[in-house]
A and B are shown apart, each in its own frame.
Chain A
Amino acid sequence: MKSNDSLMILALAAALAVAPFFIYPVFLMKVLCFALFACAFNLLIGYVGLLSFGHAMFFGFAAYVSGYTVKTWGFPTEIGILAGMLVSAALGLVAGLIAIRRQGIYFAMVTLALAQMVFFFCVQAKFTGGEDGIQSIPRRALFGVIDIRNDFTLYYVVLAIFLAGFLVIYRTIHSPFGQVLKAIRENEPRAISLGYKVDNYKLLAFVLSAALSGLAGATKAIVFQLATLTDVTWQMSGEVVLMTLVGGMGTVLGPFVGAAIIIAMQNYLAQFGEWVLVIQGVIFVTTVMLFRRGVVGEIGAYLAKARGTAKE
């Protein structure tokens, strides 16, 4: 791990560890769940160059799976979350096998179409509770000992899950596999000409991203004790694109910052009702037109420039 990055991650972990003393923990947990979702999404767009427009299917469906298994089948919390994650990974494998051979906009369209199929399945299927969703999912003690009915305690569990997911992504990016992913992003024909079967690499990245999106969705269902259709809609797929772009795609911290900004806006601007969407739209357009690199990307570029001039 590069010392710069590890310092940054330690600082982030420390800040998050003290955050609930100052900020409402439920809000923070929401931020963490979406941040993990955005980080998982960023693994694809930022490091493989694949724009998935159907990631809500992994996020939302995992929420249903963990909600249902915990509430109806009486699974322990940790097994329920794990089940959500595994089902999303499997779903990712199927969706990936179908979508991965398509390029660019066609890839986005195929993922969107598949996500819409999952959405309609969720509308029709009995176990999702249709419009009502799955409500009052119990917060059963974690590993049978840690009482998570208290938001404050649950926050640290969610933080641990977030950090674990975040580190998995960080390690993936900085692994031999991650090197190949970057090569594919940078110049796919060249990677092929060097003997790499790029589809297999893209597929593994897609499955990893789906699994971690699932982890985020499953955790969110436990936090809010609720799994609904909102999390499988195409709007949710769009929201994660928005978070990642605003924060800075292809940066380690960007998706986290983006998620925090968007969730904070939704929470603190809720009084403006539908206008939140307009504000989000304006921010999105401004980012795309003026700050292509996103918040973290722009700061990073500024620092690199400052360092460059300092050296001269």
Chain B
Amino acid sequence: MNTTEDSIVETRGLTKEFRGFRAVNDVNLKVRRGSIHALIGPNGAGKTTCFNLITKFLQPTSGAIFFKGRDITRTAPADVARLGLVRSFQISATFPNLNLVENVRIALQRPLGNSFHFWRPESTLSSLDGRALELLDAVGLSEYAGLTAVELPYGRKRALEIATTLALDPELLLLDEPMAGMAREDISRVSALIRKISQNRTILMVEHNMSVVADLCDQITVLARGEVLAEGSYSVVSRNPAVIEAYMGTGQGSAESAGQSSGNANGGTHG
């Protein structure tokens, strides 16, 4: 394994074809341990495909993926989750008809090793309730603990999803458009939450909202037409003429204003 010491995830020549169309083409990505790394790019740039490849929800056509120096190119998605690479989804992934404590408990339960025990009462899980409440408290949801997930407003569902993800204490968190479809006040709350949870872990996120990216992320990779267009900090990337052109198509304006407009109109923007 000759991955550099400080990168937690690395892709080499990552390529995904859909019936001859290359959605992701020869992407070499390194995510530094402990950083918040954003994957941005105009619609159809291959961000979400790239994301699904890294989380193993899609199989690459060619190329390799390494997590902590270990080749995970052929690993099942449930197994990468166990290795400490956990993802979120564009549409908040909760268990709608379970209450908040139960939602978080599902994530806490697996390491207990009794998940196949159909003869044990549910009360064997109550030992996890305390930890679940702590996690809900960490994302500001403790007062809603008794509600079912479906009753939460959208922004709070995202917080619940993050609490559930944190229950696994993952080393690497992959967030797929965490701000998609959110109101302004939710965005600032979830931003603060992401910053808080980034303390001792790495975060890789796909995000449209440029002000969020500028504010949160240390490192940015810009994708366009399935390929890496630019890489670097926000100030470097946002001044890159190729990036400005990819966003605007003209070379006028800045990535920031372009990002804002696409940020408002996201929703169904699969990369």
Contact = CB atoms under 8 A, between A and B. Distances in A.
Give the bracket for the number of chain A residues in contact with chain B: 20 to 34
Interface string A171-188: 110111111101100110
Contact of B57 (A183, A189, A204, A208): A189
B120 interface: yes
Interface in A174-232: 174-180, 182-183, 186-187, 189-198, 200-201, 204, 208
Interface in B177-226: none
B55 interface: yes
A1 interface: yes
Contact of B122 (A174, A195, A201): A174
Interface stretch (B3-11, B96-104, B131-139, B252-260): B96-104
B66 interface: no
A208 B116 CA distance: 12
Nearest to A204: B116
Contact of A195 (B102, B110, B117, B119): B110
B89 A183 contact: no
A176 B115 contact: yes
B94 A194 contact: no
A223 to B, nearest CB: 27
A171 B118 contact: yes
Given A172-B118, A174-B121, A193-B77, A186 B110 contact: no
Contacts of A186: 95-98
B78 interface: yes
B67 to A, nearest CB: 14
A183 B106 contact: yes
A180 B95 CA distance: 11
B168 A204 contact: no
Contacts of A172: 118-119
Interface residues of B, number: 39
A171 B117 CA distance: 10
Given A193-B77, A196-B110, A177 B93 contact: no
A176 B97 contact: no
Nearest to A208: B118
Contacts of B115: 176-177, 179-180, 196, 201
B27 to A, nearest CB: 21
Contacts of A175: 117-122
Contacts of A190: 89, 93-95
A176 B96 contact: no
Given A190-B93, A191-B106, A194-B81, A179 B86 contact: no
B77 to A, nearest CB: 5
A171 B124 CA distance: 12
B70 interface: no
B87 interface: yes
A190 B95 CA distance: 8
Contacts of B165: 194
Contacts of A179: 98, 102, 105-106, 109, 115, 122, 125
Contacts of B96: 186-187
A179 B114 CA distance: 11
B168 A195 contact: yes
B78 A176 contact: no
Contacts of B107: 194
B118 A189 contact: no
Contacts of A180: 106, 109, 115
27 contacts: A171-B119, A171-B121, A172-B119, A174-B122, A175-B118, A175-B122, A176-B109, A176-B120, A177-B115, A177-B116, A177-B118, A177-B120, A179-B106, A186-B97, A187-B93, A187-B95, A187-B96, A189-B89, A190-B94, A192-B78, A193-B88, A194-B81, A194-B110, A195-B82, A196-B115, A197-B76, A204-B118
